[in-house]
Amino acid sequence: MDELTTEFVAEAAESLGALDNELVKLEQNPNDAQILGGVFRLVHTIKGTCGFLGLDRLEALTHAAENVLADIRAGGLTPTPEAISLILQTLDCIKIILTSLEESGEEPSGDDAGLIRALSTLAGHTPDIETADVDAEAEAAPRAASTDDMIDLGSPSIEGPEFAVPEAADTCAPTADVPPAIAPKPPAEMKAAAQNVRVAVQVLEDLMNMISELVVTRNQLLQAQRVSSDGAFAAPMQRLDHITSALYEGVVKTRMQPIGVAWRTFPRVVRDLAHDLGKRIELQMIGDETEIDRQVLEMIRDPLLHMVRNSCDHGLETPEQRTTAGKGDVGRITLHAFHEAGQVVIRIADDGRGLAADRIAEAAVAKGLLTAAEAGRLPSSEIQEFIFRPGFSTASTVTNVSGRGVGMDVVRNNVESHGGSLDVHSVEGVGSTFTIRFPLTLAVVPALIVAVDGNRFAIPQANIVEVARAGLNHDRPIELAGAAPVLRLRDRLLPLSHLAADLGFDAPPAATANSVYVVVCEIEAERFGVVVDQVFDTEEIVVKPVAPIMREKAMFLGNAVLGDGDVAMILDPNRLYGCLTTAATGMDLTSAPATDATTDDAAENAALLVFIAGDGPAKAAPLSRVARLEDVAPERIVMANGATVLQYRGDLLPLAILDDADDDSARPAIIFHDGVRQAAVIVNEIIDIIDAPFAIKLAGDTPGSLGLIEIDGTPFDAFDIDHHMLAICPEWRPEGAEITKRRNAVLVVDDSPFFRHLLSPLLKEAGYDVTTASNAANALALKNAGRNFDLILSEIALSGMNGFDFAGEVKASPEWSATPIVAMCASVASARRDARPDAGFEAFAGKTDRDSLLKSMAEALEVVGDAR
């Protein structure tokens, strides 16, 4: 017996138990509409399910009983004891069939013609009708209905008189759910109830928790046994191991249910809706055996129903409209569930009119969510996303089915709050497809265990695409685009999240790493890499909630106990990606004159960004001057003080619009930096990043172009960054020779080897040539040796000659008097207080605050540069 039939028998058994009592009450209170409605709904539900399951005999019986009840309800028939008896007799007969169905899985053969005839007579008020006719009707009509009912919901056969009465009844809930109003009573004689025990979900949850502890304990025992030499435990341990695994799988299975459980009521819903709406709808359900976590199942039941109703109401057209549009007059809704990459995917597709982008745009404009100009620019796929905005409904008429504004936003919120996602893909005139994705189970997640700074973390496997080795030792260095760490991986520039830095560990910059792992993750088709020190294996982990006091920082999905009993936090890839896009990962871009791609020799290869902006050939610019590439939504481009500016991380950047597109939605922007400032240009298209010498072959005199460069035989326009930037940002510091710029030489004087070791790579990454000295005397020795530096970075509390005296010496010397000195100190405030006015420091910076340190250095250099 299949799952559905088992469910049906159990459910019907409960319903019938309740029905007996209800009928008895009805007999006593013939005029109680509420009881009558309840009885009617019960019979109606059983009938509907029977039809769906192809249980013809049952359906014929319930159908006949339903007609009688419908007549009673319509007032055409009083519930006389005789009538009630007849119905009770029918119920008994149904019970006999159900019992047999439960035992054998099939309907017993038998003849209910007499009973049906009696019921029909009662209902039809046609005692004098010819027997043969009644027989024929009793035989034929219900059978026809039972087969047509579900397969072709729109067929005219269901418009027959048998259906007219119940369908017109307005108290019949269109959802046709199992009526909750009537408390199910345990049926005394049905065995179905005995075979299925209802267990509180909490019991299963507790079991799940305990079994996961058992698994952990087992793992610990196994580990202990491996190191001990005592063989006496080997055999029992092995058994314990197997039993624990089996037990775990069993308990996990109790959490799984076929998705069909959630949508078994849908055929009725669709059928009823089709009637109400005067549409012809065919519902196809594929993959209802797909197993899904019960928690997820409970959660998606209502959203799914909502979406199916939406498809019926808004999605599909009336038969006339469909014919006009050249489609078949029967609309089709397809529910499709399947497993994919550790996720459950549920698609709700219809072949209806699709989402009308122009109507959605209109409504969005009317609600002030969009300006008309923006509406014209956005592609239809983004406009369609507006259906997920709160209070958004484009239904021109509010029907009782849908269109009340409680809509897709609630659905999406619901889905997302449970770790799922909801997307829509729609082509106007062809249909819409909604796709829901969910993790297979919310309790057990396969995760990759990684380590950063000696701490282990888990990353959900579902988000991981691959793992790559990177670093200087692996011929695949982590590079800097601006100051953002990136990895070139198979023709793609992968933005990197430096996990150690994101988590607040004191970590050297990613770009200096010799050997690291990059875990490539995917969030909604966006790929990015997570830089970690070590990668271990994949484990099935049990997700445990994060303590309330830790919830402020939602970087974590939860905690987990690993196989060896250790604790690890589970990273939320969504948040990692968020960190990546909202904050500079390594250090503040504005303070770092990042010139990693800079080479002293212009003929050497440099990373060049190739893009199209306006007419002319594709343009190329050195990537070292690019702070960031972004797709910019139109609402981020605003006018301020007569200038066009870009809203960027809470700042306003001067913006030049160089593309000639006006219909695009999100347009690519290149954000350039001059070491201190940033400014952006909007371009048509960003094509590629290529390695090539930025050697100008043909110097031109066109403003905005440095000339032509040739890369592999193709001419590119050498984009004059400074020309364009100066036009929009007068303070822009032009560095025409940026790519051949000399690195600033900095002398670091600090007696702590730790800090010298810490600062060197940091400063090198920031574009300085670094020389270190362990005390003032060594530093002054360098001066005497004829060395020159652009900047001196000195600790104040030096042993021997202190920082103030050292600065005095430097400023008094003819060789280094012009060299700016930045003081490093633990406390900036107290250092300033102690400083003599003539000490000669250009700036003070906290040595542990690298951002302000780099900024102070850049400013000190700038001041000196300006003075020269």
Partner 1 sequence: MSMRAGGEYLTAWAGGRLLGLPIDSVSDVLKWQNLRAAPLAPPAVAGLANLRGRVVTVIDLCAALDLTPSADRADATGIAVDVDGEPYGLLVDAVGEVIRPPASDFARSPANLDADWREVCDGFFWRDDGLLHVLNLPSVMRQVVRAAA
Specify the residue, 140 or 210, whose C-beta has the smaller distance to partner 1: 210
Binding span for partner 1 by CB under 8 A among 276-284, 327-335, 441-449, 502-510: 502-510
**Alpha carbon of residue 200 to chain centroid:** 30
| Binding status of residue 213 toward partner 1 by CB under 8 A | yes
Specify the residue, 278 or 565, whose C-beta has the smaller distance to partner 1: 565
Specify the residue, 505 or 536, whose C-beta has the smaller distance to partner 1: 505
Least gap, CB of 419 to partner 1 (angstroms): 19
Measured distance CA(434)–CA(645) in Å, rounded: 37
- Break the chain down into helix, strand, coil percent, rounded to 5: 45, 25, 30
Binding span for partner 1 by CB under 8 A among 112-120, 501-509, 659-667, 696-704: 501-509
Torsions phi, psi of 106, nearest 5? -130, 155
Least gap, CB of 206 to partner 1 (angstroms): 12
Least gap, CB of 295 to partner 1 (angstroms): 19
Least gap, CB of 256 to partner 1 (angstroms): 22
| Binding status of residue 202 toward partner 1 by CB under 8 A | no
Out of 172, 204, 410, 561, the only residue in the binding site for partner 1 (CB under 8 A) is 561
Q: What sign has the CA pseudo-torsion 228, 232, 238, 239? A: negative
| Binding status of residue 504 toward partner 1 by CB under 8 A | yes
Measured distance CA(178)–CA(199) in Å, rounded: 19
Out of 286, 505, 660, 781, the only residue in the binding site for partner 1 (CB under 8 A) is 505
8 Å CB contact between 428 and 356: yes
| Binding status of residue 642 toward partner 1 by CB under 8 A | no
Fill in the amino acid letter for 200: A
Least gap, CB of 219 to partner 1 (angstroms): 11
Residues contacting 115, CB < 8 A, separation 6+: 61, 64, 86, 89, 90, 93
Least gap, CB of 580 to partner 1 (angstroms): 16
Binding span for partner 1 by CB under 8 A among 30-38, 363-371, 462-470, 556-564: 556-564
Specify the residue, 345 or 560, whose C-beta has the smaller distance to partner 1: 560
Q: What is the DSSP string of 452-520?
A: ETTEEEEEEGGGEEEEEEEBGGGTB--EEETTEEEEEETTEEEEEEEHHHHTT-----GGG-SSEEEEE
8 Å CB contact between 123 and 71: yes
Specify the residue, 37 or 563, whose C-beta has the smaller distance to partner 1: 563
| Binding status of residue 150 toward partner 1 by CB under 8 A | no
Measured distance CA(188)–CA(675) in Å, rounded: 82
Residues contacting 539, CB < 8 A, separation 6+: 446, 447, 449, 458, 562, 563
Rg of the chain in Å (alpha carbons) = 37
Least gap, CB of 810 to partner 1 (angstroms): 40
Binding span for partner 1 by CB under 8 A among 213-221, 299-307, 405-413, 835-843: 213-221
Edge to edge, the sheet with strand 556-561 lists 534-542, 444-452, 455-460, 567-571, 556-561
Measured distance CA(311)–CA(432) in Å, rounded: 8
Strand, coil or helix: 588: coil
Least gap, CB of 563 to partner 1 (angstroms): 12
Out of 559, 590, 591, 598, the only residue in the binding site for partner 1 (CB under 8 A) is 559
Strand partners, 539: 447
| Binding status of residue 742 toward partner 1 by CB under 8 A | no
Residues contacting 840, CB < 8 A, separation 6+: 807, 808, 810, 811, 821
8 Å CB contact between 517 and 469: yes
DSSP-derived letter for residue 235 is H
Out of 25, 425, 474, 544, the only residue in the binding site for partner 1 (CB under 8 A) is 544
Residues contacting 388, CB < 8 A, separation 6+: 408, 409, 412, 422, 424
Least gap, CB of 571 to partner 1 (angstroms): 10
Residue owning tokens 């028939």:
77
Edge to edge, the sheet with strand 516-523 lists 464-470, 516-523, 526-532, 492-498, 484-489, 479-481
Strands (E), 618-775: 619-622, 626-632, 637-640, 643-648, 651-657, 667-673, 678-682, 685-693, 696-698, 705-711, 714-719, 744-749, 768-773
8 Å CB contact between 466 and 591: no
Out of 46, 408, 569, 839, the only residue in the binding site for partner 1 (CB under 8 A) is 569
| Binding status of residue 209 toward partner 1 by CB under 8 A | yes
Least gap, CB of 504 to partner 1 (angstroms): 5
Binding span for partner 1 by CB under 8 A among 2-10, 561-569, 636-644, 693-701: 561-569
Out of 360, 555, 792, 845, the only residue in the binding site for partner 1 (CB under 8 A) is 555
Least gap, CB of 549 to partner 1 (angstroms): 5
Out of 82, 106, 139, 566, the only residue in the binding site for partner 1 (CB under 8 A) is 566
Residue owning tokens 């790519």:
739
Out of 216, 363, 807, 843, the only residue in the binding site for partner 1 (CB under 8 A) is 216
Out of 181, 550, 643, 699, the only residue in the binding site for partner 1 (CB under 8 A) is 550
| Binding status of residue 525 toward partner 1 by CB under 8 A | no
Query: Measuring CA to CA, which residue among 64, 113, 111, 127 is closest to residue 91?
Result: 64
Specify the residue, 209 or 343, whose C-beta has the smaller distance to partner 1: 209
Specify the residue, 411 or 542, whose C-beta has the smaller distance to partner 1: 542
Specify the residue, 561 or 777, whose C-beta has the smaller distance to partner 1: 561
Out of 183, 549, 639, 867, the only residue in the binding site for partner 1 (CB under 8 A) is 549
Strand partners, 602: none
8 Å CB contact between 716 and 691: no
Out of 54, 105, 405, 565, the only residue in the binding site for partner 1 (CB under 8 A) is 565
Out of 75, 156, 368, 548, the only residue in the binding site for partner 1 (CB under 8 A) is 548
Q: Please give the size of the binding site for partner 1, defined by CB under 8 A.
A: 27
Fill in the amino acid letter for 154: G
| Binding status of residue 552 toward partner 1 by CB under 8 A | yes
Fill in the amino acid letter for 546: V
Out of 567, 797, 829, 863, the only residue in the binding site for partner 1 (CB under 8 A) is 567
Strand partners, 81: none
Q: Is 743 exposed, middle or buried (0-12, 13-18, 19+ CB in 10 A)?
A: middle
Least gap, CB of 220 to partner 1 (angstroms): 10
Measured distance CA(35)–CA(26) in Å, rounded: 6
Specify the residue, 552 or 866, whose C-beta has the smaller distance to partner 1: 552
Out of 58, 363, 448, 560, the only residue in the binding site for partner 1 (CB under 8 A) is 560
Least gap, CB of 588 to partner 1 (angstroms): 19
Least gap, CB of 500 to partner 1 (angstroms): 9
Out of 31, 104, 217, 848, the only residue in the binding site for partner 1 (CB under 8 A) is 217
Least gap, CB of 543 to partner 1 (angstroms): 10
| Binding status of residue 212 toward partner 1 by CB under 8 A | yes
8 Å CB contact between 671 and 716: no
Query: Measuring CA to CA, which residue among 821, 826, 865 is closest to residue 843?
Result: 821
Out of 197, 235, 341, 547, the only residue in the binding site for partner 1 (CB under 8 A) is 547
| Binding status of residue 568 toward partner 1 by CB under 8 A | yes
Torsions phi, psi of 399, nearest 5? -100, 175
| Binding status of residue 553 toward partner 1 by CB under 8 A | yes
- Enumerate the H helices of 735-813 as residue ranges: 753-765, 776-784, 803-812
| Binding status of residue 455 toward partner 1 by CB under 8 A | yes
Binding site for partner 1 (CB under 8 A): 209-210, 212-213, 216-217, 455-456, 503-505, 544, 547-550, 552-553, 555, 559-561, 565-569
